[in-house]
Amino acid sequence: MKLPETALLNRELSQLAFNRRVLALAEDPDVPLLERLRFLCILASNLDEFFEVRVAGLKQQVRAKSPSAGIAHSGTEALLTQIGSEMRALIADQYRVLNSDVLPALHDAGASWFAAPSSRPSNSSGPVIIFDVKYGRC
């Protein structure tokens, strides 16, 4: 039995939808605050890998002019355009959640963060969050 093309999921778009659900957990005020930060870190890591593997592979297909399967016969270039649009929205939402929700809530809870562990002031109290900017990890 052959399935219609529209019944098949595109794995790149499915992966972006999964990452959107990870972001939804970071936005959820019922999730503990440090877990929300962790979900933002997971999202950053997932998006890095997505670009390094999935988007790079699609760009190779474009350069090689090889056919691709997608939703309703969309070509690789159209898929890259769709991915770009979704990625811009996802990253904008990620930064909005971080800068408008999570970081202010951490500050209100008395958490501090510094560029390097050795730069912590001696008079600082409360939890210290060390965020590895280079690798986007907590």
In tens, the pLDDT along 3-51 reads: 555 556 788 999 999 999 999 999 999 999 999 999 999 999 999 999 9
Output the pTM of the full model.
0.73
CATH of the domain at 13: 1.20.58.310
Cβ-defined contacts of 58-66 (< 8 Å, 24+): 58/12, 58/83
Residue 128: beta bridge partners?
A: 112
Q: Per the domain annotation, does 121 fall within a domain?
A: no
Q: Per the domain annotation, does 80 fall within a domain?
A: yes
Rounded CA-CA distance 96/57 in Å is 29
Rounded CA-CA distance 67/77 in Å is 10
> The tokens of 53 are what?
């593997």
Structural domains in the chain (count): 1
pLDDT digits (tens, 9 = 90+) for 70-114: 443 358 888 999 999 999 999 999 999 999 999 999 888 888 766
Q: Which residue has the tokens 């760009």?
A: 59
